[in-house]
Amino acid sequence: MKEVPELMLMGPGPSTVPSRVLRAMSKPTLGHLDPRFIEIMGETMDLLRYVFQTKNEVTLPMSGTGSAGMETVLVNLLEPGDKAIICICGAFGLRMADIAERCGARVVKVESPWGYPIYPDDVQKALAKNPDARLLAIVHAETSTGVLQPLQEISRLCKKYGVLLVVDTVTSLGGVEFRCDEWGVDAAYSGTQKCLNCPPGLSPVTFSPAALERLEKRKSKVSSWYLDMTMIRRYWGQERFYHHTAPVNMIYALNEALQIVKEEGLENRWARHRQSQKAFIAGIKAMGLDMLVDEPYRLPSLNTVKIPDGIDDAKVRGALLKEYNIEIGGGLGELKGKVWRIGLMGNNARKRNVIWLLSALEDVLSRLGYNLERGSGVKAASLIYEGT
């Protein structure tokens, strides 16, 4: 195997993995039904309940990346002919709609332009027109646009109309405030490779009692054997009924990553992400650059910066990677070539990373002919960290 460089992964994910998590991943592999591994499984479930802020019994990591979590929730809660309201304001809302259609559901779309949130008035109209809808699915942190979606009012509307609320927390869990039980979320899924700073490969999910009741009342089998929660919950529950061989070492890594989150404390972690975003945006604005998303809806863990006229997207990202070992992301879908997607996720949401990235970006942009005052971005960000 070739030598793999150590990079500062500040794109849309995966994020930089702490050495402590990598060391945990390298521990000896246990059998997936070994009593010692079962103890680790139980501890991991407890830690996930803390991070999701839930008491849901069925809270566990699915074997697969974040999209496996998305598919797990939808394939278990939808049957052919069910009506599903899917909120779309970016690439991952589109993906939810695609999966729901593959489940045989009749999809009702609530849409906003990319870069804007879903508005409660539009949700209410859809719910009123579709009283037979089984669920409403929405992205909390839209990775393709950098939009943070307010959820409380939409949750209230779902409860009013008796519809399950499904939430994508792939780019928010562990870095941005999310309170599953308090906000009335019925099912949520995430990924390990974003704010949790764990390698990609697992997708945490959680199901409320109301979601489980829906699952238990299905008239047909879950269409995916591998993602069938009626069986998987027995493997992670008291029975430990064999379903598939769990990715043992990945669960070691997730356990350690979640321990790091708990040691810092969720409130502290959320505040650190907000401060780093504030410092980063101050630096971006001092350099004369603009953000895509309006301030109230900016996602702390993933920031979309408009590419200035005359600047080559690929050249900037290539120079950052080659010269500074920094990875940032380009635009996705209809934002391709228009924005940079810059992740401040988990350990990366710290002063040293923000300052290093802004300094590198200043250097690369100035050499490509962009007119800016060198050091302006770094200075503006530093003042935020200094509290002035």
On whether the CB atoms of residues 165 and 184 are closer than 8 A, the answer is yes
CA dihedral angle for residue 137, residue 141, residue 142, residue 148, rounded to 10 degrees: 110
What CA–CA distance (Å, rounded) separates 96 from 86? 7
pLDDT in tens, 250-292: 999 999 999 999 999 999 999 999 999 999 999 999 999 999 9
State the Cα–Cα distance between residues 160 and 272, nearest whole angstrom: 35
The pLDDT-based confidence of 375 (bands split at 50, 70, 90) is confident
The residue among 375 and 78 whose pLDDT is bigger is 78
Name the architecture of domain 266-385.
Alpha-Beta Complex (3.90)
Strand partners for 179: none
pTM for this entry: 0.97
What are the sequence ranges of the domains in the chain?
19-263, 266-385
With b for 16 or more beta-carbon neighbours within 10 A and e for fewer, the 120-138 pattern comes to: eeebbebbeebeebbbbbb
Rg (CA), the chain: 21
- Please give the average per-residue pLDDT across 4-22, as a whole number: 96
Residue 298: strand, helix, or coil: strand
Cα-based distances in Å from 38 to 42, 240, 258, 359: 6, 8, 17, 46
Lowest pLDDT segment from 30-34, 71-75, 107-111: 30-34
Domain made up of 19-263: CATH architecture = 3-Layer(aba) Sandwich (3.40)
117 vs 30, 112, 285, CA distance in Å? 45, 6, 22
The answer to whether 184 and 155 are in contact (CB under 8 A) is yes
